[in-house]
Amino acid sequence: MSQAAANTLLEATRRQYLNDLKFVLSRDNKMKGVVTSTSRRCSMEGCNGIRVGVRWPDGKHTFPCTKGMVQVSPDTWRIG
Ligand SMILES: [Zn+2]
């Protein structure tokens, strides 16, 4: 498989994961945020992650990058 094809496959796989993503847990596992959007590409140089809009129980709205998260279940990822 060519590098380009591998990248396309990786991207498709990531999008599939993100389609199922509904909740994000905070680093300390104490807060569970609700995903509001998955549309932004990460703008950090060299990062090919996607920034996910998350609304937290305390009212904050943040855009953590998927590169800084780990998937813990089909619909939930955790920061850190
Ligand atoms: Zn990033």
Domain count, the chain: 1
Q: Give residue 57's domain range.
A: 3-79
CA of 49 to the centre of ligand 1 (A): 5
Per-residue pLDDT tens over the stretch 11-59: 777 777 788 899 999 999 999 999 998 778 899 999 988 899 999 999 9
d(CA 64, CA 75): 16
Contacts of 1 (CB under 8 A, 6+ apart): 9
CA of 47 to the centre of ligand 1 (A): 5
> What is the predicted pLDDT for the residue at 3?
85
Q: The tokens of 64 are what?
A: 């953590």
CA of 67 to the centre of ligand 1 (A): 5
CA of 69 to the centre of ligand 1 (A): 10
Average pLDDT over residues 1-13: 80
Tell how far CA 52 is from the center of its chain: 5
CA of 57 to the centre of ligand 1 (A): 23
Q: pTM of the entire structure?
A: 0.79
